[in-house]
């Protein structure tokens, strides 16, 4: 809490001169994020969503951009220029993580758990949390402050959106044992609960309703409550017909995700394919 108070106080200052106290506080925050001791959001069973946001962590990351100066990072002959406060992350060897050569980048100030596999090219942004045993496949993105659980599979081309502002907004949450299919997109603080499966091409946003054919319900963002995909749901891309106006006359439909079943033994057998890649 002492670090949180320091970050809040420094963030509120309006000056353009940054003393050592700025850099000391930011370095302490990054170390805590790298170690997984501090998170931008963490599980909270007392919250309606099951998660609690730490806005001061986001303020700290924004502070890092404010105080950083533009420098060039050497990278095997390629040119990389960014704020000096956000170099590439160094993952401890004890985590037994694989970052396969071929153009991947993991930014400092995020947590990479044990036995994580990163296939090139992929990207993890600052503030993110990727838990043990997760596979991040080629061309996948884990956005700033996104939270990824244990034993997840982010398939090729999956986009997990991030959020730094507004600081109180919930980032995208992917809970344990979730399979995110190829070219999926999860944005706007959506929560995908434990064991869910997103079929290839599924897009989840706060503005798109999700139709549950099994439980005969519709899930959508309501006020401050994010879109929540229930545990074990199997979600596929679908469409719903436009019922009035020119859209109806032209026979048009709008995209919508559809829950067609809940995870069972047959689904689990299909998702075990990823174990062959580890």
pLDDT (tens digit per residue) in 156-204 = 999 999 899 888 899 999 999 999 999 999 999 999 999 999 999 999 9
Are 140 and 154 in contact by the 8 Å Cβ rule? The answer is yes
Tell me the mean pLDDT in the region 1-6.
95
CA 232 to chain centroid:
19
Task: Using pLDDT thresholds of 50, 70 and 90, give the confidence band for residue 117.
Answer: very high
Residue 49: which pLDDT band, with cuts at 50, 70 and 90? Answer: very high
Map out the domains of the chain with their CATH numbers.
Answer: 2-264 (2.160.10.10)
Going by pLDDT thresholds of 50, 70 and 90, the confidence category of residue 206 is confident
State the average pLDDT over residues 259-278: 70
| Residue 214: both structure tokens together | 């099994």
Q: Write down the mean pLDDT value for the chain.
A: 93
pLDDT at 16 over 90: no
Neighbouring residues of 146: CB distance < 8 A, sequence distance ≥ 6: 125, 128, 129, 160, 161, 162, 171, 172, 173, 174
Mean pLDDT of 67-71: 95
pLDDT for residue 107 is more than 50: yes
The reported pTM is 0.93
Helix (H, G, I), strand (E, B) or coil at 79: strand
Give the model's confidence band at 15: pLDDT under 50 very low, under 70 low, under 90 confident, else very high.
confident
Question: Is a pLDDT exceeding 90 seen at residue 73?
Answer: no
| Residue with more model confidence, 74 or 53 | 53
In which band, very low, low, confident or very high, does the pLDDT at 207 lie, cut at 50, 70 and 90?
confident
Phi and psi at residue 136, to the nearest 5°: -110, 110
CB crowding 179-217: b at 16 or more within 10 Å, else e: bbbbbbbbbbbbbbbbbbbbbeebbbbeebebbbeeeee
Q: Quick one: pLDDT at residue 76?
A: 64
């Amino acid at each position: 809490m002492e670090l949180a108070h320091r970050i809040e106080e420094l963030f509120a200052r309006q000056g353009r001169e940054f003393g050592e106290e700025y850099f000391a506080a930011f370095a302490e925050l990054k170390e805590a994020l790298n170690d997984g001791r501090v998170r931008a959001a963490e599980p909270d069973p007392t919250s309606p969503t099951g998660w609690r946001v730490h806005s001061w962590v986001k303020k700290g990351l924004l502070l890092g951009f404010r105080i950083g100066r533009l420098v060039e990072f050497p990278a095997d002959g390629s040119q990389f220029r960014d704020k000096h406060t956000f170099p590439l992350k160094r993952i401890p060897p004890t985590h037994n993580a694989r970052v396969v050569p071929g153009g991947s980048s993991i930014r400092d100030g995020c947590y990479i758990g044990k036995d994580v596999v990163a296939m090139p090219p992929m990207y993890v942004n600052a503030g993110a949390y990727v838990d043990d045993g997760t596979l991040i496949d080629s061309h996948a993105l884990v956005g700033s402050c996104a939270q990824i659980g244990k034993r997840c599979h982010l398939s090729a081309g999956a986009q997990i959106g991030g959020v730094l502002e507004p600081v109180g907004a919930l980032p995208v949450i992917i809970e344990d044992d979730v399979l995110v299919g190829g070219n999926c997109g999860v944005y706007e603080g959506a929560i995908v609960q434990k064991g869910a499966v997103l079929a290839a091409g599924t897009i989840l946003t706060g503005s798109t309703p999700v139709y549950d054919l099994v439980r005969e319900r519709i899930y959508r963002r309501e006020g401050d409550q994010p879109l929540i995909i229930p545990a074990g749901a199997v979600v596929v891309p679908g469409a719903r017909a436009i019922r009035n106006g020119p859209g109806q006359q032209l026979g048009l439909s709008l995209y919508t995700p559809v829950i067609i079943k809940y995870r069972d033994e047959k689904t689990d057998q299909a998702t075990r394919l990823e174990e062959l890649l580890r």
